[in-house]
Each structure stands twice: as structure tokens, then as C-alpha cells.
Amino acid sequence: MIEVEKEYAPEWKVIIDLLKYTDSSLYNRLARKMMNYLYKRNIKEAEEVMKKIEASAHYGLYSETVQNQPLPRLNQESLEKILDEIFDIADRNLQSQHIVNMLKVWLKQEQSRFLSLAAEKRDVSLAEITDAIYRFSKMPNAQKSLSPEERIGIKVALIRRFLSEDMNYINVTKKLTTVADFENILSHTIGPPHGNGKLGGKAAGLFRASKIIFAAKKDFISLRNVAIPKTWYIASDGIIEFLHFNALEEMPTIKYRNPSEIRKEYPYIEQLVKNSSLPPDLVSGLNFALDDFSDKPLIVRSSSLLEDMQALLLLENTKAYSLLIKDQRKKD
């Protein structure tokens, strides 16, 4: 009796075929990652696919004189054929185990996708983004589960969400910070769980200054003994929560009254505010902060989203900052 040896599909083909029929969105993302990977490795067949897409998109343009037109859309069937072709190209140009290894890396990155989705929401609540960052921090090798591009994207999104939307601030801070830094920030942030307020100008300035100083300590002996004070933050919408909790919604509009009226009403307004109560969430957060500070002296500072810009500009003119940024640009 002669037995015919069965041929088994490689492990990666089993994974891809399963995903194609059970999770088409994930299959499409993996195919795009594979396309980019093959293209970066200068595999000619991948370059030909890119040229084929460009040629298909240009087909049917009205004339050579009409150039400022959107490219026609490829139909879904054509795109699906291209994605299938990508894995065939990978099969011909890469070893089977190499493909398996790449798929494992990308599937591991998918485990962190929830953080990208949460961070990219412009109106994400404090509770939702805090939960996402805590979940991410508890993952084994969390930082390595992100691609370099995803890591930068998440950092930029978190900087925009909590610190500043100023492009100069973002461009500098994204190079000096990590996703883990925001776990520490959020563990010291007090605010309404459903709110989406920022941390204010002083908090943003102190955070960036601390990252600049930390990065420059190795080159400047005079900075090595500089310590950053333990800090807790109240989100900018904490005051809105306070006003709503005490039915004082009309307070923000008082500033538009005649100054003489404001001066006359001030004693009453002051007593009204002093006899109001803090919302439970703020009370709970402040209790945590006081326990954390213990019996150490406290400095309480007000803040807004627009202040301290001059201080940040002044910081940019310091020698340590200038040298650090020049060094970062060389590395980039």
C-alpha cells in the first residue's frame, strides 16, 4: 500500500485565509502593511503593483489638458484583487517563516489599536482615555507593540487632547515624551469623568520644561540637581462642572456686564461662590491629591488655556533648549 504525502498550506496562509472570511477589515489592514513592507524592501513586483494602481487610476481621464481633477475611484473588486496579489508576491519573495514573523508583529500591534482609536477622538472623555492608557500600560512590552508611526500619532493626539494644539509645542514635545508619560499625568488629573477639558497653560509649560530639562541633564551639569515638583492637575472643565453642580450657569456671562455693575455685585458673587459645594468627583480627586502630598507645603496656581505662551517662547531661547533641539533635528 502506497500512501501519498499530503501537502499542507504554510502557517501564514492558514491565518490569512481565515481572516479573509472572518475579519475582512483586519485582513485589509494586514494586506496594506504587507504592501508597504514589500515596497520598502524594494521588491520589484510590489513596485509594479503600485504602478498598476496609478495606471488604473489615470485611465479614463478626460484629456492631457485637464490635470487638476480628482483621480477616478477603483472599484472594490479591483482593490480586492490587488490585496490578494500582495500576499502572492510575498510568497514568491519572502521565506514562509519570515512572513509568519511579520504577521505576528502586526497582529500584536493590533492589540494596541484601541489606544489609537481612543486617542484620535477629539472629544474623548477623561474616563475613556484614562482607561485606554491604563489598559495599554498593563500590556507586556506595551511600547514595542506600537509601530514607530503609531507611537508618534498617539503621542501627538494625546498632546492635542490634554496639553496644547500649538504646532510648535507639539513638534517639540512629541520628540521628548513617551506614551507612558501620559499614564503619570492622568493618574494625577482631577476632573469630571465625562469631561474633555485640557490641563491649562501652566501645566503644559511645566510638562514641556520638565522633558527638556530631563533630556538635557546629561550634557549640562548645572541641570542635574533641578527637581520638578510633584504636581496634580484639575482639568479646565472642572470649573464648568462646579458651576453646573451649584446651578450657577449664568456666572460666565457676568463678565459681559457693565464694569460698574460687576463691582457692585462682586461681594454677593464672592459669598455665593464661597458657599457653594464642590462636585463629588472633584472632592474625591482632591482627597487623593492631599493624601499624596501628605504634610508637605502646597502651591496652588490658577491656569488657563491661553496663558504662559510668553514663558514658553522665553524657554525656547535658552541655550540648553536650543542645543537639544539642534541635536534632535540631526537625529531626525
pLDDT band at 288 (very low <50, low <70, confident <90, very high): very high
Contact 270, 163 (CB under 8 A): no
The pLDDT value given to residue 2: 53
- Closest by CA position to 87, among listed 46, 47, 119: 46
Contact 208, 185 (CB under 8 A): no
The pLDDT value given to residue 232: 92
* Whether the predicted pLDDT of 60 surpasses 50: no
The pLDDT value given to residue 284: 92
The pLDDT value given to residue 61: 46
The pLDDT value given to residue 148: 83
Q: What percent of the chain has pLDDT over 90?
A: 17
Mean per-residue pLDDT over the chain, rounded: 81
What are the DSSP calls for 270-293, one per residue? HHHHHTS---HHHHHHHHHHHHHH
- Summarised one tens digit per residue, pLDDT across range 217-261 is 888 888 878 888 889 999 988 888 999 999 988 888 888 889 898
- Distances in Å between the alpha carbon of 304 and those of 202, 203, 205? 8, 9, 11
Tell me the C-alpha distance between 73 and 115, whole Å: 31
pLDDT band at 113 (very low <50, low <70, confident <90, very high): confident
- The reported pTM is 0.76
The residues spanned by each domain of the chain are 11-60+72-110, 164-331
The pLDDT value given to residue 63: 47
- Summarised one tens digit per residue, pLDDT across range 289-327 is 999 988 888 888 877 766 555 555 555 555 555 555 555
- Summarised one tens digit per residue, pLDDT across range 261-281 is 888 888 888 899 899 999 999
Give the chain's length: 332
Contact 113, 26 (CB under 8 A): no
Stronger pLDDT, 147 or 330, i.e. the higher one: 147
- Summarised one tens digit per residue, pLDDT across range 115-166 is 888 888 888 899 999 999 998 888 877 777 778 888 899 999 999 999 988 8
